[in-house]
Amino acid sequence: MLRPLFYTLLALFALAVVATAALLARVAPQLPDINSLKEVKLQMPMRVFTADGSLIGEFGEKRRNPVAIDEVPLQLKQAFIAAEDERFYEHPGVDWMAIVRAAVELLKSHQKRQGGSTITMQVARNFFLSSEKTFDRKLREIMLAIKIERELRKDEILELYLNKIFLGQRAYGVGAAALVYYGKPLAKLTLAESAMIAGLPKAPSSLNPVADPAASLARRGYVLRRMLELEFVSREAFDQAMASLETASLHGQPSETDAPYLAEMVRTAMEERYGTAAYTEGFRVYTTVTKPLQDAAVRSLRTGLSDYDRRHGYRGPEAQLALPVNAPTQWPSLLAPYQTIGGLPAALVTAVSTQSVTAVTAAGESIEIPWSGLVWARPQRGNDAVGAAPRTASEILKTGDVIRIQYHVPVPAKGKPAAEPYWRLTQLPVVEGALVSLAVADGAVQSLVGGFDFARSKFNRVTQAMRQPGSNFKPFVYSAALDHGFTPASFVNDAPIVFDAPGLESVWRPENYTGTYYGPTRLRDALANSRNLVSIRLMRELGVETVISHVSRFGFDAKSLPQNLSLALGTGETTPLTIVSAYAAFANGGFRITPYFISRVEGPDGRVLETAAPARACDECTDGTAAEEEPLDIDDLKQQQAKPAAPRAIDAQNAFMMYSMMKDVITRGTARRATQLNRKDLAGKTGTTNDQKDAWFSGFNGKIVTTVWVGFDIVKPLGGQETGARAALPVWIDYMREALQDTPETELVPPPGIVTVRIDPDSGAVAGVSSKGAVLESFRERDVPGSSGAGSAGGQAPQDEAPPADAEQLF
């Protein structure tokens, strides 16, 4: 009776062995080469940095922060081994005992309560196999695990596993999980946090502490109990970890520098170059901005926009909420929908006194806003009017109001002690703005801010906002005049004029901003004081086509410019980036540079893949021949190849005269406020459009050029008196104060062909040394009044005689 059963079992066993051997013979040759694991390339996101190594942002579907096994704390390794594979350091890749236990448990309970997969089998599955559940796939997994164990050390296998495993919320690997859930590196994880992360592989999407806090807490307890059973932790450490509150929450990649508009420009550029590989190859992209200047730009623009907003009154709280009675601990949670925007956190008013307000923040902090932080809040009565000044706090706010707050540090007056900082009521500005700053030598972006806050609006106003530059465009018209016989001393009549010409919709009666006219005016004075009628007469004298041809050399699109005299007042729409690039030519001696913002791209191993080679403002590398037409040696050739030349927009004489004229805009013109910087090397121009719909300032020295724009996205007036000098210039000043701190003055040097002589400011004629009231003026040698090449452009009195013998000539 037993013999037939024995032979039957023996036959079945033999059949199973033969079948398994046949299957192994078929599968074995198809197994992948394990050596590929030694050179595995994990998908890694692209990271964007400042030039000085500060993280700006990260792009990629998978968040991953690979770590070496030596960087993984022992308690985290033990937590994973306790949760996933307690015999990891003992089995040969497959834990037959665990598989038998899992099978017995399945037969007894008809539920899969224990898994038989080892860490090595998970590595095999994650790197080489699909997730389908078939006998063939499982056999391949087992065979691969055994093969992996033969060719890799245990720690190498564990390192692969800990860097590859999906742990929920787009986090792949333990390094990323620590940052995603706790915002800290592995070395700073507590035992409880390590256990939480180690419990995630079972169901990373549904059992993570963000998706299901209660279930994940139970899973954390399971991992801690397993660690206690395996004597990885003491009873005391176990009890302490079990009692720990769970603090996990979603943490974004910790940005160290606020430059999201620039980061998005980098993302777009990298995708254009590398396609979807940009998000998976672990590129490290280094930009041209530095953290100090970028931080200064963000701070200056936000301050300027908030200052404008306060000038136009308080619009009221963002919301009115009912406070739960006798439940103050619940009040902070009511602020969850109100995220911090532009550095301005939300707060909930909890009490209103006569001249102060008490509020609570989302973090639960109770603050007091004194009267000094409330008194500004006159009610807004339209965009250009405000109501009466408040006398009590209750006129402004009431309990339950959701407001914005700012910790204000007053700037002490000269010679006076610093005032105490205090909380101030504020609001999110409706007005928008942009700031962009370039190195004048090669166009490297020094800082870029495309709006008040990227989270509120991703529209990049530096590159995408097409706005009228107004008077900010005038220097380009004046530059055209200097190329066509005019000089800074030429006179043009500043007087009313009426146009009724083709191309204009109706009779056009342009006016100066002040409504005042000054008669014959030197170009230098006209530009310093932004005289509209002088610019129009200049353009009429030169011709519209001549001016458009000239300004297109600065990078303006000739086809998009209006083909009429209104162009003289900056009616052609353009972007702040185009404006600042064009102004760079005045600062660098006349070269047209091209802005760039990526300095180099590295692979994840630090190998440099590409480096920027921008065209530079460089006289010595404008052609391929040496100055004396001698053959180039190899070192000279390499140097010229390393520094390609930027094309010229204007000659050096034109650039210097424009720089000299725009210095007067600051020293005695519409931008006199900038004299507070106490520098002699600054030049620039304000810009204001009709009805103050756009406010601009562009300014520079010999190293850096910066443009600021302020306006509404939906075009409407900024309000009376909100000119470029009032709305945009203060932003420029605040930024340049920090950008130029501790830097020497860098003025343009008069180039060959420029002479400076004393002239009579009333006639433009060369003055003698003894002439009273004479001023210095720069000319091309051929254009010095009274020289053989000088003419009478622009109404300047003809000078038929040579300069008097006692005329003082400088430079």
Please provide the DSSP assignment of 253-276 as one string: ---SS--HHHHHHHHHHHHHHHGG
Cβ-Cβ contacts under 8 Å for 789 (sequence gap 6 or more): 781, 782, 783
Please state, in angstroms and rounded to a whole number, the distance separating the CA atoms of residues 55 and 260. Answer: 11
Reduce the DSSP state of residue 281 to 3 states and report it: strand
Radius of gyration of the chain (CA): 36
- Picking from 67, 66, 47, the residue whose alpha carbon sits closest to that of residue 57 is 47
**Sole residue written with tokens 């396609």:** 275
Reduce the DSSP state of residue 584 to 3 states and report it: helix
- Picking from 431, 386, 381, the residue whose alpha carbon sits closest to that of residue 731 is 431
471 carries an active-site annotation: yes
Please state, in angstroms and rounded to a whole number, the distance separating the CA atoms of residues 136 and 423. Answer: 68
- Sequence-ordered alpha helix ranges (H) in 152-290: 154-164, 174-182, 191-198, 213-229, 235-243, 260-274
Segment (H or E) for 478: helix 474-482
Please state, in angstroms and rounded to a whole number, the distance separating the CA atoms of residues 421 and 409. Answer: 4
- Picking from 546, 545, 541, the residue whose alpha carbon sits closest to that of residue 523 is 541
Please state, in angstroms and rounded to a whole number, the distance separating the CA atoms of residues 477 and 492. Answer: 13
For the record, the structure tokens of 567 come out as: 């162009």
Among 54, 58, 84, 264, the one annotated catalytic: 84
Q: Is 497 exposed, middle or buried (0-12, 13-18, 19+ CB in 10 A)?
A: middle
Segment (H or E) for 59: strand 55-59
CA–chain centroid gap for 405, Å, is 24
Please state, in angstroms and rounded to a whole number, the distance separating the CA atoms of residues 324 and 320. Answer: 13
Cβ-Cβ contacts under 8 Å for 369 (sequence gap 6 or more): 356, 357, 358, 359, 405, 422, 423, 424, 425
- Sequence-ordered alpha helix ranges (H) in 615-728: 634-642, 652-668
For the record, the structure tokens of 324 come out as: 């739960």
Please state, in angstroms and rounded to a whole number, the distance separating the CA atoms of residues 320 and 398. Answer: 9
> Between the CA of residue 428 and those of 38, 342, 385, 494, what are the distances in Å?
53, 8, 18, 42
535 carries an active-site annotation: no
Among 216, 306, 447, 471, the one annotated catalytic: 471
Please state, in angstroms and rounded to a whole number, the distance separating the CA atoms of residues 662 and 666. Answer: 7
Q: Residue 537: how many CA atoms within 13 Å on its side-chain side?
A: 26
Extract the runs of DSSP E, i.e. beta strands, from 241-395: 284-287, 319-320, 346-352, 357-361, 366-369
Please provide the DSSP assignment of 585-620 as one string: HHHTTSB----B-EEEEE-TTS-EEEE----B--GG
Please state, in angstroms and rounded to a whole number, the distance separating the CA atoms of residues 19 and 336. Answer: 62
Write out the catalytic residue numbers: 84, 471
